[in-house]
Amino acid sequence: MADKDGMKIAKDYHIDKPFAKQGGFYVKGMSDVDWGMKARLANIFQPESGHTVMLAFDHGYFMGSTSGLERLDIVIPTLAEHIDVLMGTRGAIRTCIPASTGKAVALRVSCGSSILDEDLSHEIIGVSIEDAVRMNASCMAVQTFIGADGEKESLDNLCKTVDAGLKYGIPTMGVVAVGKQMERTSRFFKLATRILPELGAHIVKTYYCEDFEEITSACPVPIVVAGGKKLPEDEALTMCYKAISEGAAGVDMGRNIFQSTDPIAMVQAVRMVVHKNATDKEAYEFFLDTKKE
Ligand code: 5RP
């Protein structure tokens, strides 16, 4: 292991230069993975735009019933036609989402804490690879806690999930959680979003932050951004627009969609930004024109 002393601060991100190793496959860093994994990644990242709209509704795995998700069976199917990926737990998907929905699944496979827990960073792998295959998962999502007590366990969970997924051609999405010793700054997100792909994650989910272009430039796999806490719709769309403009390959939004005053109008507005090159202002105008009074 290189010693930590004398480390020079990274600064040459070559932001103006596209990622070099594209090969024949459009998903960043994935030109050498197996055919089946490419097919699953193509279910996630739409070939026309190379981007994805994931609807995150896995909050219940540690928060229980969340505002806006009280009835998964009602809320999620009404939004499904406007998204590319269902990001949820096996329990939520099996019980509440029709198998005929025809959307890719980002399966939440890590778990182990509830909001009653002081420290959420000690998770386990809670879903077997056999059940991920059974669920027809297009990727598996593992929470990682860089800068928290459970850092090592979470990275072990990530590596074990990557290894299991490689056996069956199922990609792994490393989810960046904000550990106790972390702040929502580019310094910490740069660290986390580089460690995860170095350990084999095929997709990274993180949060938008300042210097985001440096983060996407330095990350050799596609990054999707979580929406985070509920914002006014215009601010959420601006965050989405900035993230895409600065190199994100999509979003994995939950609360900013299902807690919106009009979730269907909001998910369509997000889709305009992610897939149709719409600006945040154009998308917000669409939202205002479309939302139910
Ligand atoms: C919850 C999660 C969510 O998938 C992630 O935070 C995205 O949801 P939101 O946009 O509501 O933040 O990891 O544990």
DSSP 2-37: --STTPPPP----TTSPPS--TT-SSTT-TTS-HHH
Active-site residue 205, yes or no? yes
C-alpha of residue 252 to centroid of ligand 1, in Å: 7
Candidate of 105, 175, 258 to mutate for ligand 1, largest count of ligand atoms within 8 Å of Cβ = 175
Q: How far does the centroid of ligand 1 lie from the alpha carbon of residue 118, in Å? A: 19
Cβ neighbours, 10 Å, residue 228: 16
Q: How far is CA 50 from CA 9, 14, 43, 101, 212, in A?
A: 31, 21, 10, 21, 19
Q: Pick the atom of ligand 1 nearest to 230's CA.
A: 11
Q: DSSP 3-state assignment of 70?
A: coil
- Give the global pTM: 0.95
Going from the Cα of 56 to the center of ligand 1, the distance in angstroms, rounded, reads 6
Q: 29 near 197, Cβ under 8 Å?
A: yes
- What is the Cα–Cα distance from 17 to 233, expressed in whole angstroms? 32
**What residue owns the CA closest to ligand 1's atom 2?**
59
Domain 30-292 coded CATH 3.40.50.300: no
Per-residue pLDDT of the chain (293 residues; tens, 9 = 90+): 777 777 778 888 999 998 886 678 999 999 999 999 999 999 999 999 999 999 999 999 999 999 999 999 999 999 999 999 999 999 999 999 999 999 999 999 999 999 999 999 999 999 999 999 999 999 999 999 999 999 999 999 999 999 999 999 999 999 999 877 778 888 899 999 999 999 999 999 999 999 999 999 999 999 999 999 999 999 999 999 999 999 999 999 999 999 999 999 999 999 999 999 999 999 999 999 999 98
Which is the catalytic residue, given 4, 205, 229, 242? Answer: 205
Of 41, 155, 152, which is closest to residue 106 (Cα–Cα)?
A: 41
Q: Which two tokens stand for residue 99?
A: 């198998």
Please state the three-class secondary structure of 104-122 as a single string.
EEEEECEECCCCCCCCCCC
* Dihedral pair phi/psi, residue 239, rounded to 5°: -60, -45
